[in-house]
Structure 1
Amino acid sequence: MPPGAVVPTVDVDRSDPAYRAWLKEAVRKVQADANRSADTHLLRFPLPEEWGVDLYLKDESTHPTGSLKHRLARSLFLYGLCNGWIRPESPVIEASSGSTAVSEAYFAELIGVPFIAVMPRTTSAEKCRLIEFHGARCHFVDDPRTVYAEAAALAVRCGGHYMDQFTYAERATDWRGNNNIAMSIYSQLRLERHPEPAWIVATAGTGGTSATIARYVRYMQYGTRVCVADPENSCFFDGWRDNDPTATSERGSRIEGIGRPRMEPSFMPAVIDRMMRVPDAASVAAVRALEQRIGRKAGGSTGTGLWSALKIVAEMAREGRAGSIVTLLCDPGERYLDKYYSDTWLSEQGLDIEPYAEAIRLFLATGRWPD
């Protein structure tokens, strides 16, 4: 379908037996994907035993589409199908910085509907390749702030459904249980020396993951605190700190998948205990340190969360508080070889990661976090 093409709306009688049979099969396929996929691993980040603090990374890169967004896409498709919004043959359109679009393209292919991803032109080439691998189309915009309006307009032109992850992420996911990410974390920590984490550190794109985790913590009456790490050029930290739902950022985030130019409807500031603003150079330094420590490359959003988690480890160790901390390995670094693992890209962006890399080295060697 060429850009800008007008596709007639597919008129569906939702009481029609053929439609109900299609819907039943589509829901079965999406649920079967979850049923046959083993839960993601919880990896230990090596720290000295005597510190009394354990750090774990929930490895979401092992999902079939390689990222944390696989959970969200599955929930959004079930939500859209059960609400009658996703119909046979009609396109699904999403505004995304990449990983959500990869996962949604997978589910669209699974149930046999077209998919179009509206993304900033700066989205990594590997993510675009993965979207197109699933038979979907990439629709680029030059200004990241226009992805919402363009996706909604494209849905009207195509007679399709605008998924709108930034509105529906927190309501499409069952935060009370149903093997959500929070429930999985607590189950996997059951036999560890600190089974109830002192902190869970998340990052925010839609805000759906942090809302799910924080709500589950409260629902289950745990003492865990939730910290959200926010990159440069994102308004979430300012909006949370100032209790300002109108906060905005004039630039798009360099850390793909997290950070937004506006306060998204799915971002729930009231359930977050703490936020940290993380320099982009620190995020990159952290993912490179992660590779050195556990031999795994990860995306920049993982680095944002890991930097904040390491700071909390340092605080707890300094104060003599034992416990565990969990953060997320959101997606594989192989998607970003031309960005976060490229010294050329760092130079072009004016990012000097060495002071942050040295801070991590010093901390892991001595237990001291630089002032």
Structure 2
Amino acid sequence: MDGPLPAPADDAAASRAWTHEAVDRLRREAARSADTHLLHLTLPAYPGIDFYFKDEASHPSGSLKHRLARSLYLYALCNGRLQPGQPVVDASSGSTAISEAWFARLLGLDYTAVMPASTAPAKVDDVRALGGRVELVADGARVREAAAAHAARGACFLDQFGLAERATDWRGNNNIAESIVAQMALERFPEPAWIVCGAGTGGTSATIGRYLRYRGLASRLCVAEPTGGAFAVGWPGRDPAARAWRASCIEGIGRPHAEPGFLYEVVDEVLEIDDAQSVAAAWWLRELLGGWYGGSSGTHFAACMQLAARLCAAGRPGSIVSILGDRGERYAGTLFDPAWLRSRGIDLDAARDALPRC
């Protein structure tokens, strides 16, 4: 394990040395981290279709946001925004906060997560277990504003919603798109017909969409969005000011308003998925893959099945790649608790029956 970073100092040379060591520490962590698995699945209901699931929950901090958090810290360091000993803050619905807290501990920095009060309690506990502080905000649409208030008092605002699409190197550097394309190279259908992801910050969809164009690939990108989420509302007119018309119980995606990283132009289709179907699909993933994955993974899977049905109807075999965003254990008291679902009017049995079964 890396030891403590050099103590903060006032002179420019010492500050630059601290930044160099922090960047080197992030590079070493990236070199130690193995790539995430790409899990393969076939379903008899969809002959000729190969499903693949990029298991981002296997990162050390437990989610897709591990990649983003590393990029945000590197972006802050290399742009001179993060100084020795400076506290760090960000707005998050959970998974990004956990990953950022993980990296803050690695770098020996104080970290505060500003989170919606509706965030799954297990996520709040995970941030605190990593040494982070948590500030809960009743109105989830105001978390970024509350985080900015910390920045006004001297904290470094990582700003995942404002900076995700530019902090991630979409041309390569083992971003998620490059990793998927490399892992698919030896498969039966190496160039996916579709890649499916959600939109929280918009960083993942922006990275994948840009990379597909950069590589000249014919694969299309689908954003799977909770019904009424801001990306879906803004999609028809590519509206940068779009606002959701309903709240969702699927954390991490389905933002209340369009974020700066929502690059509609690199997306080929948006599919809206009802919350009940997302939850049912997440439960089904437990049976199919033998692991627990969060609600956004269920949203992605439900969209994959719609796209697979289209390919089958057109007589087109092919592959579809989706993302397993985070660990389902974080939702043991919510999405995987039948009593919690009943209290919110989600009929799990009916939703499961509505999904195609193998």
Q: Judge same fold: TM > 0.5, yes or no.
A: yes
Q: Please state whether the residue corresponding to 1:242 is helix, strand or coil.
A: coil
Q: Which residue of 1 aligns with 2:321?
A: 326
Say which of 175, 180, 186 aligns to 2:181. 186
What do the CA deviations read for 1:159-216 (whole angstroms, capped 9, x no partner)? 1111110110000011011111011001111111000101000001000001100100
Distance 1:212 1:320 in 2: 30
1:135 to 116, 121, 131: 131
1:364 and 2:357 are equivalent in the alignment: yes
Q: Is the 8 A contact 1:233 1:260 kept in 2?
A: no
Instruction: Write the mapping of 1:270-349 to structure 2, written as runs, cut at 5 A.
Output: 270-349=265-344
1:93-148 Cα offsets, whole Å, 9 max, x none, are 10000000000011111111110000011111111111111111000111101101
2:55 and 2:323 in contact (8 A); partners too: yes
Contact 1:144–1:252 (8 Å) recurs in 2: no
Aligned residues of 1:44 and 1:57 also touching (Cα < 8 A): yes
Secondary structure of the residue that 2:134 maps to in structure 1?
strand
Q: CA deviation at 1:232?
A: 3.1
Long gaps (5+) in structure 2: 1-7
Residue 105 of structure 2 is matched in structure 1 by 109
Q: CA deviation at 1:353?
A: 2.8
How far apart, CA to CA, are the structure 2 residues paired with 1:49 and 1:24? Answer: 53
CA distance in 2, matches of 1:251, 1:111: 39
Q: Does 1:168 align with 2:163?
A: yes
Instruction: Give the distance between the partners of 1:78 and 1:172, measured in 2 at CA.
Output: 8
Change (3 A) 1:88 1:257: same
Q: Does 1:99 align with 2:92?
A: no
Alignment of 1:192-207 (within 5 A): 192-207=187-202
Corresponding position of 2:4: none
> Does residue 221 in structure 1 map to residue 216 in structure 2?
yes
Cα distance in 2 for partners of 1:279, 1:50 equals 21
Q: Which 5+ residue runs of structure 1 have no aligned equivalent?
A: 1-10, 366-371
* 2:36 is the alignment partner of 1:44: no
For residue 124 of structure 1, the aligned residue among 105, 120, 127 is: 120
- The one-letter code sitting in structure 2 at the alignment partner of 1:131 is V
Asked if 1 retains the 8 angstrom alpha-carbon contact of 2:46 and 2:308, the reply is: no
Q: Distance in 1 between matches of 2:34 and 2:248?
A: 32
Aligned equivalent of 1:6: none
Moved more, 253-262 or 283-292: 253-262
Q: How much has 1:243 moved relative to structure 2?
A: 2.2
Give distance in 2, aligned partners of 1:277 and 1:232. Answer: 5
Q: What secondary structure sits across from 1:275 in the alignment?
A: strand
Query: What residue number does 2:26 align with?
Result: 30
1:74 to 64, 70, 77: 70
Aligned twin of 1:261: 256
- Counterpart in 2 of 1:369? none
SS in structure 1 at match of 2:171: coil
TM-score normalised by L of structure 1: 0.92
State the AA in 2 paired with 1:169: A
Structure-2 separation of matches of 1:274 and 1:74: 29
After superposition, the C-alpha distances for 1:22-81 in whole angstroms (9 at most, x for unaligned) are 101100111111110100000012323981110000000110101000000000000000
Alignment partner of 1:246 out of 241, 249, 252: 241
1:4 counterpart residue number? none
Deviation, 1:12, is: 7.6
Q: C-alpha displacement at 1:154, in angstroms?
A: 1.8
RMSD (Å), alpha carbons: 1.5
Residue type of the alignment partner of 1:40: T
Note the C-alpha offset of 1:352: 1.8
Amino acid in the other structure paired with 1:32? R
Q: Which moved more, 1:43-52 or 1:30-39?
A: 43-52
What secondary structure does 1:67 align onto?
coil
Distance (whole Å) between structure 2 residues aligned to residue 233 and residue 69 of structure 1: 23
Q: Does 1:211 align with 2:206?
A: yes
Check whether the contact 1:196–1:224 (CA below 8 A) recurs between aligned residues. yes
- TM-score, normalization: structure 2? 0.95
SS at match of 2:288: helix
Instruction: Write out the 4+ residue segments of structure 1 that deviate beyond 6 Å after TM superposition.
Output: none
Residue type at the aligned position of 2:25: K
1:335 shift after superposition:
0.5
Q: Distance in 1 between matches of 2:348 and 2:169?
A: 38
